[in-house]
A and B are shown apart, each in its own frame.
Chain A
Amino acid sequence: RKEVEQDPGPFNVPEGATVAFNCTYSNSASQSFFWYRQDCRKEPKLLMSVYSSGNEDGRFTAQLNRASQYISLLIRDSKLSDSATYLCVVTGYSSASKIIFGSGTRLSIRP
């Protein structure tokens, strides 16, 4: 079983739609969780951290479910510019912990 798993997609949704995807992790000792966005042939960029209480940043909402060991990302009122690959990242508490990326979920927003 992979340490971090994501549905590769692609998710193809119309502009304005709400889309959500999950990421599961296998190490119950994992402490820190993030979503990164990666555009084609570009480097990953931090989208948002995922806190135990959940967090929201504009149209983006991230949730953590420790009991079921998954994190989620919800995008409301999707824009064409949201088209990208979304990478789930899981790590431990210490900066010396391994940082594990999922394979990414491809999202394509159509006009």
Chain B
Amino acid sequence: DAGVTQSPTHLIKTRGQQVTLRCSPKSGHDTVSWYQQALGQGPQFIFQYYEEEERQRGNFPDRFSGHQFPNYSSELNVNALLLGDSALYLCASSLTAQGQALEKLFFGSGTQLSVL
């Protein structure tokens, strides 16, 4: 039973560039959430995707966008990278049914993004 997988594991970019991070949810899960975790901080909610639509969004600028595919996998895109975007980006999957979360969040091991 495959867990949540993310790619790449590490990425180095320069200011102003764009980046795409990828996530495959745990088998049987249909909901994907993205988090940004800066060093020494808790994960900050970016947004959640369900049925290929953004269902909830945290306090992140429009530079952060995402997508969910029919197979439930998801991408996080960040445009015009800033130094402050350097962080661990975590993807978490869960299962939704009748508007209720049937399973808790399961996290991938994350993508460490460094912006120089």
Residues of the A chain whose Cβ atoms lie less than 8 Å from the Cβ of B106: 46
Comparing B12-20, B66-74, B75-83, B93-101, the segment that makes contact with chain A is B93-101
Asked if A49 contacts B107 (CB within 8 A), the reply is no
Does B115 touch A at the CB level, under 8 Å?
A: no
Q: Mark B33-46, 1 if CB is under 8 A from A, else 0.
A: 10100001111110
Contact of A43 among B42, B45, B48, B108 (CB under 8 A): B108
Does B113 touch A at the CB level, under 8 Å?
A: no
Contact of A96 among B45, B99, B107 (CB under 8 A): B99
Residues of the A chain whose Cβ atoms lie less than 8 Å from the Cβ of B58: 98
CA distance A89 to B45 in the complex (A): 11
Q: Mark A19-42, 1 if CB is under 8 A from B, else 0.
A: 000000000000010100000001
Contact of B107 among A8, A43, A98, A103 (CB under 8 A): A43
CA distance A53 to B104 in the complex (A): 19
Residues of the B chain whose Cβ atoms lie less than 8 Å from the Cβ of A96: 48, 50, 55-56, 96, 99
Does B86 touch A at the CB level, under 8 Å?
A: no
Asked if A43 contacts B110 (CB within 8 A), the reply is yes
Residues of the B chain whose Cβ atoms lie less than 8 Å from the Cβ of A32: 101
Does A100 touch B at the CB level, under 8 Å?
A: yes
Asked if A98 contacts B42 (CB within 8 A), the reply is no
Contact of A97 among B44, B56, B90 (CB under 8 A): B56
CA distance A17 to B108 in the complex (A): 32
Asked if A49 contacts B50 (CB within 8 A), the reply is no
Asked if A101 contacts B35 (CB within 8 A), the reply is yes
CA distance A97 to B44 in the complex (A): 14
Does B24 touch A at the CB level, under 8 Å?
A: no
Known: A34-B104, A43-B90; 12 extra A-B contacts, CB below 8 A, are: A6-B42, A8-B40, A32-B101, A43-B108, A44-B107, A49-B104, A95-B50, A95-B96, A96-B50, A96-B55, A98-B56, A104-B42
B interface, CB within 8 angstroms of A: 31, 33, 35, 40-45, 48, 50, 55-56, 58, 90, 94, 96, 99-102, 104-110
